Amino acid sequence: MPFLQLNQVAFTYAGKTSPALSGINLSLEKDDITAMVGPNGSGKTTLTKLMIGVLQPTAGSIYLEQRPLAQYSLAEIGRRIGYVFQNPSLQLFCPTVAEEISFGLTNQGCDPTVVEERVGFYLNYFELTAYRNAFPLYLSHGEKQRLAIAAVLANEPEFLILDEPTIGLDAYRKRLLEEYLQKVASLGRGMLLVSHDIAFVNRMAKRVITMGDGRIQSDSGWRGNAAYDA
């Protein structure tokens, strides 16, 4: 049973005549790492926004575990799918770095000891401990990126969608992120990585989807499958 399923999905932005996406048929499994690549403007980010319900398709249907996505609230989707925006500044809204990580946990009624423990862990893992009380928007792009990822991971969602997660990260921190994502994947949590970083994609993903002109141009299938090997 696919975790996310898109059937003949199309999307046109308001006021535009040509569609940003059309004829998208796609199934994503819960425990696999899939990457989506393609040139700028090919519809990758629009497609991820449709998958988390921020945008509604103009045609076709999207299912989250066989239930129409439109029947879920954003919060329900957010609890199951962690989404890291392409621009991390758009998802940072707390007065301090520590509160940014603890926000979801605290508001979902998590035990304060667990919250503190998890905040400490993510601050340490993503090397943000020194900025614990800093205002998030004062951080550099790379630091904001790490914070946005940490804040989403702290919620422990079942599936992750990361839009350009390696932008602004140096080689060392990219490796740290890779290691962490591999660890997350080994726990049975799947993810969709949207990236231009081919080396990162090749190291991480088992399946690569190529977008172009608002359509899926190619889908490698799973590594080891005939489709992938072809």
Partner 1 sequence: MMLDPRTKMVMVICLTSLALVYNRPAQLLLLFAVTVVLLALFHFRISAIWGYLKPFLSLMLFLFVIQSIFSPGNEVLLAIGSVPLITTEGLIMGASVVLRITVVIAAAMLLTTFSSRDFVLGLVQWRVPYELAFMVSIALRFLPIFKDELINVVTAVQLRGIELKKIPWGQKLAMYRRLALPIVYGAMLKAQQLAIAMEARGFRAYPRRTYLRRLQFYWADYVVMVIFLTGTIILMIQPFI
What residues line the site for partner 1 (CB under 8 A)?
52, 54, 73-79, 83, 85, 89-95, 103-104, 107-108, 135-138, 151-152, 155
Q: 39, 217 in Cβ contact below 8 A? A: no
Q: State which amino acid sits at residue 108.
A: Q
Q: Please name which of 126, 3, 149, 129 lies closest in space to residue 66, comparing C-alpha atoms.
A: 3
In the complex, what is the shortest distance from the CB of residue 75 to partner 1, in angstroms, rounded to a whole number?
4
Q: Which is nearer to partner 1, 63 or 103 (CB)?
A: 103
Of 21 and 151, nearer to partner 1 (C-beta) is 151
* Identity of the residue, 91 or 210, whose beta carbon is nearer to partner 1 in the bound complex: 91
Q: How many whole angstroms separate alpha carbon 128 and alpha carbon 218?
A: 38
Angle made by CA atoms 25, 26, 32, in degrees to the nearest 5: 175
| Residue 176 Cα distances to 87, 120, 124, 206, angstroms | 20, 17, 12, 19
If we measure between CA atoms, which residue out of 82, 156, 170, 87 comes closest to residue 115? 156
Per-residue buried b or exposed e for 16-26, using 16+ beta carbons within 10 Å of the residue's own CB: eeebbbbebeb
CB-nearer residue toward partner 1: 85 or 200: 85
Instruction: Pull the structure tokens for residue 208.
Output: 């690569």
In angstroms, give the least distance from the CB of 48 to partner 1: 12
Nearer to partner 1, 94 or 176 (CB): 94
Pick between residue 19 and residue 104 the one whose CB is nearest to partner 1.
Answer: 104
- The minimum distance between CB 100 and partner 1, in angstroms, equals 10
Which residue has 């996406």 as its token pair? Answer: 21
- Shortest spacing between CB 90 and partner 1, in angstroms: 5
Q: Least distance (Å) from partner 1 to the CB of residue 180?
A: 19
Q: Considering the complex, what minimum distance in angstroms separates the CB of residue 213 from partner 1?
A: 27
* Structure tokens, 194: 């949207």
Q: Identity (one letter) of the amino acid at 224?
A: G
